[in-house]
Every structure is written in structure tokens, then in C-alpha cells.
Structure 1
Amino acid sequence: MIAKPYTFAVGAKLEDHTKQKHKILREYFDRYLWVRCQLPQQSKFRVAIVDGFAGGGRYEDGSPGSPLIFLEALANATTSFNIRRAAEKMAEFSIECLMILNDDDPEVVEFLKRQVAPVLAGIKVTVPKLHVHVIFLNKSFETIYPEIKALLEQGSYPNVLFNLDQCGHSQVHSSTLTDIMRSFRAPEIFYTFMIESLIAFLRKGDPKRYRKQLSHLKLTPEALEALGTQMSNHAWLGSAEKVVFDSFHDCAAFVSPFSINNPKGWRYWLIHFANNYRARQEYNNVLHRNSTMQAHFGRSGLRMLSYTASDPSSGLYLFEDADRARARDQLHDDIPRLVNEYGDAIRVGEFYRGIYNMTPAHMDDIHASVMNNPDLEVVTESGGARRTSNKIIASDVLRLKQQRSFFPMFLNPQKGTNDR
């Protein structure tokens, strides 16, 4: 695929799918900073941000691109943290950020420098507790990645966030994604690609595997070849999610295979990679605050990719209130069944680690389904019963009640071959 370059110097148009990505990116990064900077004993936070396809920083309508979104979020967070700390008579809080901005177009990089400079100057004056060091690079991402990795290792940054908003699908190799997720203590990646390009690649590289992955649709060979033109079909979205997840699930512990929602066809995928369930938990929550921006087709409880075309429990999930209600209904049965697979009890932190690659559900819906379930109870470390869902913590134990409403399950008839 030949990508159409953005012409930032003469004014790049902000497309709807990019606007959606930016809103999710901004809100997630806000939550990322809040979660990482909430310890009262903490006085400094260090983070590195790598924008591998940074662009020019500002669009023709004046909207900020991802580099400026990161800078604005850092400034707002640092200011907010210190206002709160001053009110509580706590020590001041500082953030140190290494920002690496790369684009393979030298003219775009020069335009980006001009957009970043006044923002950095304003930060130095108005947010003195935010310290940002920006490095501009100008090569293809795969070519420059070893240099980027060396810079991060030199600075000993455990908290690393990569934003890889490529055109097409081939400018970032899956082996590079895996290397990022294995090379740092707390890495996360936002990764964008066009599903048309990926499917074309898979079809060319391994046609037998591609046909097997989509065999449940019972498509004719002609329909299979034409699948790339049927992107508004809900079943197509579910199949594409399986392709995406199977292609990338080895890259990280938690992979979100949700597409950017477009009723005319799901062409762009925004995937979040993380190694900690807490990151995926927050990502799911952000998607629910931005309902209709991303889309999932399949089950809405656990085992989200386990479905057939005739499965009545499957459907289009747009993270809206009606979708959440359907998720709670499915979680009511799914969660006790999962706990039963472990025996009769599981620590909540282990439960989280086991489910967050299997569900699009909001954290509150999962907790409510646990607390309102007649077959389940949550027990604290001291042995007491947890009474409210918003108090559940990772060290609690989730267990089946002795008097429960279902029989032992030696074989689980609902467990499918696609469970993750």
C-alpha cells in the first residue's frame, strides 16, 4: 500500500478517525498520569514518550496532533497535582519526561519543531515543575528504533509509552512490538493500522491459515476473496477481530483488538498493548466514556472472541449503556463459571489477569456482576465480607458460595475452542 502523506506545511486535514484516536489517546494519557502519580509519598515521576510517526503537530483547523496532546496533558496534570498537593499541605510534585518525536519526512519534522517550540517555552514559564526534554529524529521507524531503544536504556526509563500511528500496516513489524513490550519494565503501545492492508498481507503470506480463521462464516471462495469490500458487515468485524488478536496476542500480555468505529466500514484499528491488567482495565473504562468511538463484535461478557455466526449472545458492542447492560447479563453467568474452573476461589488480582484479554466490559460492570451474584462472594484478607463493589481490591478473594444455584461442571459445554 502506498500511503498518502500528510502535507502539514500547507495544512493537513484532520480526518474523523484521527480525531477519534486523539480523543481516546488524550483521555487515556490523562488517566495514565493520574494512576501513576497518586502515591502521597511520591514527589517525582519519570516517563518517556515515543511518537514514532509524529506528524507536524498541528492540523489545518488548528487542532493539536499527538505530540502537542502529550505536552498539554503533561502540563495540565502537573498543574493539577500541585494544586491538590498545596491544598493538602503536601510537598510539590514534578514530572520528568523524555519525548522522542520521529517522522520520516524532513519537512514535516521542521514544521513540527516550529509547533513544539512555543509550547515548550510556555511550559517553562507556567509549569516549572514539568521538565521536558525533546529529541527530534528523522528516519523510518524500523530504521531508527534501535537508536530510540538505546536512548531509553541510557536514561533508564521504566515507564515508556509508544504511539505508533502508521499508515497501512507494514511500517512497524510485529517483532518490534514484541521487543518493546519485553525490553522495558512498564511499556505500553498505541498502534494503528489499516485492516485492509493486514488482511491482504495475511492472505498473501499464509492463505490456508487465513481461510481457516474465517471458515465459520461458511463463505464461498469468491466471497472470501471479496471480504475486503464487506467491511460494514457485523460478522466481518468479528472475524477481523479474531485475525487481529491471533496476529498480535503474543506481543504483549494484554491486547485490545477493537477497531475505530465507522458504520460505513471498519477499516482502521487502534490497538492498545500492555503487560499489566490495570492498564487494560483503564483502557476499557476510557472506551466506555467515549462510546461509539470503537467497535467490537462478539460476546460482551467473558470469552469475547468465542462466538459463531448464529450465536444469539453475540452482537455489535459500541461501549454504550445498552451494551453494558448486555455485558452485565452475560457476566452474571460467565464469572461464576470461570471461578469454578479454578476450583471455588481465586484472588481478585489473578482474576483480573485472567479476564482482561477476554472482555470489553467496564470495571464497574464486572464488580457489580460479582457483588450482585447469588453464587459469589468477595472476602477480604482479614476474612470479612466485602459489601460494596467500589471497595474491591486485588488482594481480596473471589469465591463461590457453599450454597450455590448451579451444579458441578466436570465438562463445560459452553467453553469454545477460541477461548483466550
Structure 2
Amino acid sequence: MVRKLYDWKGGAQLDEHSKRKHKILHEYVLQYIVVRCKHPHQPRFRFAIVDGFAGAGRYAGGSPGSPLIFIDRVKAAAEAINLSRAVEGLPHINLECHLILNDADSSVTSLLMQNVAPILAEVRETSKNLQIEVSFLNEPFESAYPKIKAILTSAKITNALFNLDQCGHSYVERSTILDIINTYQSEIFYTFSIQSFLAFLSRTDPNLLLSQLSFLNLPIREIEQLNFPMSNERWLGTAERLVFDAFQVCAPFVSPFSIHNPDGWRYWFIHFAKSYRARQVYNNVLHDNSSAQAHFGRAGLNMLSYNSRDAEGHLYLFDEPGRTTAVDQLRDDIPRLLSKKGEALNVLDFYDGIYNLTPAHSADILSSLVGHPDLRVTTKSGGERRKANNIKVTDTIRLNPQQTFHRVLLPAGIR
């Protein structure tokens, strides 16, 4: 697929799918920093944000692009965290951010420098507990990545958030995603077109493509020529499973959700993370921005374990109706999970085991554990938790000795 060229100088148009990505980035970056600065006596947090396809920073009409969103959110996080600490009588924290902005077009980077300069000047003047250092690079991302690694190594930075908002699919290798996850305490936002991804798989991994599309009973040469019905919900579910299978080796937690557009699911916005906590925060941000992304399948645990040919899957838009469905399914799924795990499970182990396989909000997961006829959550001392928001990772989820009859058997959909 030929990369779409934005007319940054003439005024690049901000597409709907980009607006939705930006909204999620806007919310998530602040939460990412807040979570990483939880320790009350932590004196500083050093981290990098790498924008691999940065663009010029502003779209037609003045809408900010991702580089400006990152600067704004880092500034907002520094202010919010230190205000909260001041109210609690805690020492302030210094944030040190190294922002690495790369674009293959040198003329685009020149515009980006102009757009970034006044905002950085304001940060230096008004944010005494925030330091932002910026590096500009001018190369295709794969060529720039060794230089990015050298910058991070030289600065002794291990915490890194990567935004890889490519057009098409071929500009970032899966091996590079794996290296980022293995090298840094990192998270990655990764964008691609599903059509170019299918073309890529047909050339490089035809067996995976055939296995996931086997229900069509078509040979690979016909699959390559298919005009997929991108607005069909079942196609969304099939594509989601393909994406998950292709990328699950890259990180412990992979969210294979597409950007929800009225004209169909054509762009995927994947979040890669190393910890359940990052995925937990990401799920919650998606619910705060409902309908920005879409999932087709189950709303509880084992979100992809449905059959493409039957009616088990449902469209999940991270909205209130979806959350109601999630709670209903979770209240069935969790006892079955515990039956397989030995009837008791530490909450931390529970989180580690489920968060790569559920789109659910953290509050819905917790509410499914209390007041349940088959479950109880106990503290380290043996007391019982009766409020969802009091549950801690050191607690234990246990099956009650007498379970309701309809939950004893494990249905085919829960593996």
C-alpha cells in the first residue's frame, strides 16, 4: 500500500480515525504519567516519548497533532500531580521527559520545529517541575530506530512510550516492536490499515491467514483478491483474531481493537504493554471515550473465543450497554475460571491472567466479585471484602463451597 502523503504545508486534513486516536492519546498519556508517579516520596520520573511518524504538529484549522498533544499532556500531568502532592503535604516531583520526534520528510520536520518551539518556550517559563528535551530525526522509522536507541541509552532512560502511527503496514517490523518491548519498560501505540496488513500476511504468513479465514473455504489466491466487507461486524471479529494471533508474541498484553468508524473498520490502533496495570488503565480510558474503538466477540473473559459462524459474538463499543453485558458475562466467567485454577486465586495473579483477554472496565471486574453467590474475596488476615473499591492485589478470590448449579459445568465458549 502506498503511504498517504499529508499536505502539511498547505494544511493537512484531520481524518475522523485520527481524531479518535488523538482523543485516546490525550487521555492515556496523562494517566500513564500519573500511574508511574504514585509513590508519595518519588523525587523524579525520567521517561521518553517517541513519535515515530510525527508529522508537522498541526492540521488544517490549527488542530494539534500528536507531538503537541504529548507536550500538552506532559505539562498537564506535572501540574496535576504536584498540585495533588501539595494538598497532601508531600514533596513535589520533577518530571524529565525526552521527546524524540521523527519524520522521514525533512520539510515536514522543519514545520514541526516551528510549531513545537513556542509551546516548549511556554513550558520552560511556566512549569518549574518539568523539563522537556526534544530530539528531531529525519529518517524512515526503521532507519531511525538504532539512533533512537542510542539516544535513550546515552540518556540512561528505560521508561519509554512509543507512538507508531504509520500509514499502511510495512513501515514498522514486528521484530522492532518485540525489541522495544524487550529492551525498555515500554508501551507502544501502533496504527495500521487492515487491508495492507492482509496483503502483508498473504505474502509472509499465508498459513495464519488461511487458518483464521478457513470458514470462508477459499484458497489463498482468492483471499488475496477478496473485497472484505469492512462494515460487517463478523468481519471485525475475524480481523481482530487475526491481528491478535499475529501480534500476541510481541508483548504480554496486546489490545487488538480497531478504530470505530461509521464507514467500517479499516484502521487498527493496538496498544502493547508489559504489565496488567497498563492494560487496565487503557481499558478504562477506552470506556471514558466510548465508541472510539470497537471489539466484536465476548465482553467478559476470553473475549476472542467465539465462533465466526454462529451468533455468539456481539459488537462492544466500550459504552454503557456493553458494560452491562460485560458484568453479566463476568459473573459467569469468573467462577468457571476459579474452578479450573483450584478454587482460589490471588487477585494479582487473577489480573495477570485475565487482562489480555478482556475489554472490561476495572470497576466492572471488581463489581463482579462482590455480592456474588459463588464467590468471596478475602484479605490476608481472612476477613471478607464487601465493597468492590476496597479490593487489593494482596487479597484472594475464593469459590464458595456450594456453587449454584448452572455454573458448575464449563461451556464450550470458555476455554
Q: Secondary structure at the match of 1:95?
A: strand
Residue aligning to 1:92: 92
Question: Aligned-pair distance for 1:199?
Answer: 0.6
Asked if residue 364 in structure 1 is aligned to residue 363 in structure 2, the reply is: yes
Bigger shift: residues 147-156 or 201-210: 201-210
Residue aligning to 1:70: 70
Bigger shift: residues 3-12 or 238-247: 3-12
Question: Aligned-pair distance for 1:406?
Answer: 3.7
Structure 1 residues 279 and 228: CA distance shift in structure 2, 3 A: farther
Deviation per residue, 1:168-221 (Å, 9 max, x gap): 00100000000000011x200000000000011112333343122112355698
Distance 2:138 2:362 in 1: 40
Q: How does 1:335-374 map to 2 (within 5 A)?
A: 335-374=334-373
Deviation per residue, 1:86-115 (Å, 9 max, x gap): 333322221001111100000000000001
Question: Aligned-pair distance for 1:292?
Answer: 0.8
Residue aligning to 1:318: 317
Residue aligning to 1:54: 54
Asked if residue 216 in structure 1 is aligned to residue 215 in structure 2, the reply is: yes
Residue aligning to 1:200: 199
Deviation per residue, 1:239-286 (Å, 9 max, x gap): 000110011000000000000001321000000000100000010101
Preserved contact between residue 216 and residue 308 of structure 1 (Cα < 8 Å): no
Q: How does 1:259-274 map to 2 (within 5 A)?
A: 259-274=258-273
Residue aligning to 2:399: 400
Residue aligning to 2:2: 2
Distance 2:160 2:192 in 1: 21
Deviation per residue, 1:280-337 (Å, 9 max, x gap): 0010101011111101111111111111135443111111111111111111111111
Distance 1:218 1:62 in 2: 49
Residue aligning to 1:414: 412
Q: Secondary structure at the match of 1:112?
A: helix
Bigger shift: residues 91-100 or 279-288: 91-100
Distance 2:45 2:108 in 1: 30
Distance 1:48 1:58 in 2: 21
Preserved contact between residue 196 and residue 228 of structure 1 (Cα < 8 Å): no
Structure 1 residues 93 and 338: CA distance shift in structure 2, 3 A: same
TM-score (normalised: structure 1): 0.95
Distance 2:355 2:232 in 1: 26
Distance 2:6 2:359 in 1: 33
The aligned amino acid for 2:396 is V
Distance 1:12 1:340 in 2: 55
Residue aligning to 1:163: 163
Distance 2:137 2:149 in 1: 13
Question: Aligned-pair distance for 1:391?
Answer: 1.2
Residue aligning to 1:275: 274
Asked if residue 154 in structure 1 is aligned to residue 154 in structure 2, the reply is: yes
Preserved contact between residue 296 and residue 313 of structure 2 (Cα < 8 Å): yes
Question: Aligned-pair distance for 1:34?
Answer: 1.3
Preserved contact between residue 187 and residue 274 of structure 2 (Cα < 8 Å): yes
Residue aligning to 1:389: 388
Residue aligning to 1:122: 122
CA RMSD after TM alignment: 1.8
Give the unaligned 5+ runs of structure 1. none
Q: Secondary structure at the match of 1:231?
A: coil
Q: Secondary structure at the match of 1:14?
A: coil
The aligned amino acid for 2:39 is L
The aligned amino acid for 1:414 is A
Question: Aligned-pair distance for 1:150?
Answer: 1.8
Q: Secondary structure at the match of 2:272?
A: strand
Question: Aligned-pair distance for 1:84?
Answer: 2.5
Question: Aligned-pair distance for 1:11?
Answer: 1.0
Distance 2:111 2:407 in 1: 65
Distance 2:407 2:17 in 1: 47
Preserved contact between residue 298 and residue 305 of structure 1 (Cα < 8 Å): yes
Structure 1 residues 124 and 240: CA distance shift in structure 2, 3 A: same
Residue aligning to 2:330: 331
Question: Aligned-pair distance for 1:38?
Answer: 2.4
Structure 1 residues 314 and 372: CA distance shift in structure 2, 3 A: farther
Structure 1 residues 205 and 158: CA distance shift in structure 2, 3 A: closer
Preserved contact between residue 238 and residue 308 of structure 2 (Cα < 8 Å): no
Q: Secondary structure at the match of 2:294?
A: strand
Count of equivalent residues: 415
Residue aligning to 1:139: 139
Residue aligning to 2:19: 19
Bigger shift: residues 385-394 or 245-254: 385-394
The aligned amino acid for 2:412 is Q
Distance 1:406 1:224 in 2: 45
Distance 2:260 2:130 in 1: 35
Q: Secondary structure at the match of 2:301?
A: coil
Distance 1:67 1:405 in 2: 53
Q: Secondary structure at the match of 2:187?
A: strand
Structure 1 residues 141 and 414: CA distance shift in structure 2, 3 A: same
Q: Secondary structure at the match of 2:368?
A: helix
Deviation per residue, 1:19-66 (Å, 9 max, x gap): 100000110111111111122111211111110001101111111111
